[in-house]
Amino acid sequence: MAATQTRVTYPTVTPMIAYEDAASALDWLSRAFGFRERMRYAEPSGTVTHAEMEVGDGLIMLATPMPDYRSPRHHRETCDEARQWSTVPYVIDGVHVYVDDVEAHFRRAKEAGATVLSEVQDTEYGDRQYRVEDLEGHRWLFSQHLRDVAPDDWGATTS
C-alpha cells in the first residue's frame, strides 16, 4: 500500500517556542488561550519534541528541546539579569495574537492561571489589548482591532 501524503500548509512566519514540559504547555495553551492542537510528536519517553497549535489563521510550534533547557520563569529564578529585564510588564520576547473578543479572552486566560502583566486597555493605534505570561513565563500580547488609525495620527512614520 502506498503512503498517503497530506499537504499541510504553514503561515509565512511561525513562532517556535521551547517549553520545559511541552505536553503540559499543550494542555495549558488550549485551556487558557483557546489554541487547538494540530499535531504532536513525542519520543517513547513521552517528551514532546515537536507540536503545532492553531489559533485563527495562525500557528505556533513548540517542543521540549533538551533536558537542560530552562524556561523564562525558571531562568529568572537563577539569573539576576533575567530577573531585572522581566520586571517590566512589556512583551520583550513573545508572541502577538489577534482575537475576536479580547475581554472574554482575558477572562479565560486569568481563570486558567495566566500571570497578568497588564489589564485590558485601549491603544492610540486602534487596538484593545492585554499582556500575560504563560505557565513557563513566556510573554503573550493579545489584541482586538477596534478601528483603523493612520500611523501619522499616533506618531508613527511609514516608509
Residues of the chain with pLDDT under 70: 1-5
Residue of 144, 137, 140 whose CA lies nearest to 118: 140
H/E run at residue 39: strand 36-42
pLDDT of residue 3: 62
Residue of 97, 101, 100 whose CA lies nearest to 138: 97
pLDDT of residue 87: 85
pLDDT of residue 4: 65
Alpha helices in 38-149 (DSSP H): 72-78, 80-85, 102-111
* Segments making up each domain of the chain, as ranges: 16-154
Q: What are the pLDDT digits (tens) for 77-99?
A: 999 988 888 888 888 789 999 99
At residue 77, φ and ψ (nearest 5 deg) are: -70, -20
> What CATH number labels 16-154?
3.10.180.10
pLDDT of residue 5: 60
